[in-house]
Amino acid sequence: MRRPRFIAEHARNARGLLGRVIAFIMARETWRQNLRVMDALGIEQSDRILDVGCAHGRSLAELANRAARGRVVGVDPSELMVEIATRCNRSHVMADRVGVVLASAESLPFPDDTFDKVLCVHVLYFWRDLDRCLSETARVLKPGSRLGLLFRTKADLAAVASFPPEIYRFPALAEVAAALEQADLNRHAASDCKNEPVLLLAEKRRVQTG
Amino acid code (one letter) for 57: G
User: Mean pLDDT over residues 130-146, rounded?
Assistant: 97
Which pLDDT score, from 0 to 100, does residue 182 have? 95
Whether the per-residue pLDDT at 14 is higher than 70: the answer is no
Fold annotation for 5-204: Rossmann fold (3.40.50)
Whether the per-residue pLDDT at 1 is higher than 60: the answer is no
Identify the band that residue 130 occupies on the pLDDT scale cut at 50, 70 and 90.
very high
Q: What is the pLDDT of residues 69-92, one digit of tens each?
A: 999 999 999 999 999 999 999 999
Identify the band that residue 165 occupies on the pLDDT scale cut at 50, 70 and 90.
confident
User: Mean pLDDT over residues 13-31, rounded?
Assistant: 68
Written as one string, the DSSP assignment of the chain is -PPPHHHHHHHHS--HHHHHHHHHHHHHHSHHHHHHHHHHHT--TT-EEEEET-TT-HHHHHHHHHSTTSEEEEEES-HHHHHHHHHHTHHHHHTTSEEEEE-BTTB--S-TT-EEEEEEES-GGG-S-HHHHHHHHHHHEEEEEEEEEEE--TT-HHHHHHS-TTT-----HHHHHHHHHHTTEEEEEEE--TTS-EEEEEEEPPPP--
Which pLDDT score, from 0 to 100, does residue 102 have? 97
As a whole number of angstroms, the distance between CA 199 and CA 148 comes to 7
Q: What is the pLDDT of residues 88-124, one digit of tens each?
A: 999 999 999 999 999 999 999 999 999 999 999 999 9
User: What are the φ/ψ torsions at residue 132 (nearest 5 degrees)?
Assistant: -65, -45
Identify the band that residue 164 occupies on the pLDDT scale cut at 50, 70 and 90.
confident
- Least Cα distance to 207 among 112, 76, 96 occurs for 112
Which pLDDT score, from 0 to 100, does residue 18 have? 62
Percentage of the chain exceeding pLDDT 70? 84
CA dist 151 → 18, 108, 119, 192 (Å): 24, 20, 11, 10
Percentage of the chain exceeding pLDDT 90? 70
